[in-house]
């Protein structure tokens, strides 16, 4: 299914409607860049660890998103992953603030594994107003707005309502940190989950998710 805005989250209007529409447009535009670059050779660098990667496309996409947003909303603030990695301060103030991960799943992107996304959030008064995530290769547009629910390509999303862990599928992530204390905590938590005897488990590095990792 192609990305669609035919859902209440996209059409209900509101004080930040113009911001929301711009976020969707830029996420789709960035997705085109990422899809094209996925199969190309990349210049890869590391940030906090050998598992925390960055490419020239990360920076290109982030610069594109921020520059277009600044043209429309010059007074807004930004918290962006690559700028933060370069030393920019990450301070969430009451001002309208964009929170950007240009390539969510950079490790996948580097290895040409197609689970990658563009993630854009928007906060006002230190509360999130909406989020837009575009899964670039599957062309899935996820949108969520405060008080209006979440959607994927126009279809409303909802939790299953299952409260019994033994009847659930458990997904978790490792993250880029590999220091002994972090690994010990992660493995301890995994052991507790395994003892819970869920239906199934998906343990993977965060970068293989596409909706919550670098």
Q: Residue ranges for the binding site for Mg(2+)? A: 81, 101, 103-104
Residue 48: strand pairing partners: none
Centre a 10 Å sphere on the Cβ of residue 208 and count the other Cβ atoms it contains: 16
Q: Binding site: what residues are annotated? A: 81, 101, 103-104
Q: Is 12 helix (H, G, I), strand (E, B) or coil?
A: coil
130 with 121: CB under 8 angstroms?
A: yes
100 with 80: CB under 8 angstroms?
A: yes
Sign of the CA dihedral with 65 first, then 121, 98, and 84 last: negative
Tokens 């085109």 correspond to 32
Strands 155-157 and 117-124, bridge-based pairing: unpaired
Burial class (CB in 10 A: 0-12, 13-18, 19+), 13: exposed
Interatomic CA distance for residues 120 and 102, integer angstroms: 8
């Amino acid at each position: 299914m192609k990305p669609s805005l035919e859902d209440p989250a996209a059409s209900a209007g509101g004080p930040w409607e113009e911001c929301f529409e711009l976020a969707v447009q830029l996420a789709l535009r960035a997705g085109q860049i990422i899809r094209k670059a996925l199969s190309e050779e990349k210049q890869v660098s590391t940030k906090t660890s050998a598992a925390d990667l960055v490419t020239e496309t990360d920076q290109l996409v982030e610069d594109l998103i921020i520059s277009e947003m600044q043209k429309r909303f010059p007074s807004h603030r930004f918290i962006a992953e690559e700028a933060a990695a370069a030393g920019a301060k990450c301070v969430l103030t009451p001002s309208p603030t964009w929170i950007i991960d240009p390539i969510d799943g950079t490790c996948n992107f580097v290895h040409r594994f197609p689970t990658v996304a563009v993630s854009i959030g928007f906060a006002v008064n230190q509360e999130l107003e909406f989020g837009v995530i575009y899964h670039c290769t599957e062309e899935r547009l996820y949108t969520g707005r405060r008080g209006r629910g979440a959607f994927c390509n126009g279809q409303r999303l909802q939790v299953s309502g299952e409260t019994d862990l033994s009847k659930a599928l458990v997904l978790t992530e490792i993250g880029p940190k590999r220091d002994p204390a972090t690994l010990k905590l992660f493995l301890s938590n995994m052991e507790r989950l395994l003892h819970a005897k869920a239906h199934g488990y998906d343990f993977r590095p965060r970068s293989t998710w596409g909706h919550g990792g670098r």
